Amino acid sequence: MLPGAEKAFPVSWDQFHRDARALAWRLGSQGNWQAIVCVTRGGLVPAAIIARELGIRLIETICIASYHEYKEQGGLVVLKTVAPQLIELADGEGGAILVIDDLVDTGQTLRVVREILPKAHIATVYAKPQGRPLVDTFITEVSQDTWIYFPWDLGLTFQAPLSGSKA
């Protein structure tokens, strides 16, 4: 789904914070979480909120690029995987690992994550129908043809990253 699509779902900072806290509330009763793996970059903000709310100190990243120039979803590139110690923990006590992302769209990114951390609990703030089966917990489902405008992408108009680098 490309920006400028027929259906747009702009999310304010306040709304995103409420939705991420709601996700933390839902996750709090589902397990004894020992660590969070956030999918960068979209998972960084909700992971910080969830870590605070659930008192989780061990936070790791998995860096996967799938959107390029905020326009098209292209091939996946794993830029950084999870630390070996966390993979060992996930293999032994996979139910103790939370994977956090802002959104599941087609599910391509989370398929890669699931291969690396098969026993982890995957949670997203928002979910679209194609990717929904890959998520264990989410807060809001939006239609596949909706583009979510996250608060870090918005000013009064779309704000391109300062670096000018590829998304």
Domain ranges of the chain: 8-26+33-152
Token readout for 65 is 């690029």
Catalytic residue among 105, 136, 145, 153: 105
Beta-strand runs (E) in 72-156: 72-80, 97-104, 121-127, 137-141, 146-149
| Cβ-based neighbours of 43, under 8 Å, separated by 6 or more | 61, 99, 100, 101, 102
**In the annotation, is 136 catalytic?**
no
**In the annotation, is 14 catalytic?**
no
Catalytic residue among 14, 19, 102, 153: 102
Q: Shortest CA distance to 40 belongs to which of 115, 125, 99? A: 99
User: Which of 2-6, 51-55, 113-117, 139-143 bottoms out in mean pLDDT, i.e. has the lowest?
Assistant: 2-6
pTM of the model: 0.84
Can you say whether residue 69 is alpha, beta or left, with left for phi > 0 and alpha for psi between -120 and 50 degrees? left
Q: In a 3-state reduction of DSSP, which class is residue 159? A: coil
Return the CATH fold of 8-26+33-152.
Rossmann fold (3.40.50)
Catalytic residue among 101, 136, 145, 153: 101
- Give the pLDDT of residue 1: 47
pLDDT band at 160 (very low <50, low <70, confident <90, very high): confident
**In the annotation, is 101 catalytic?**
yes
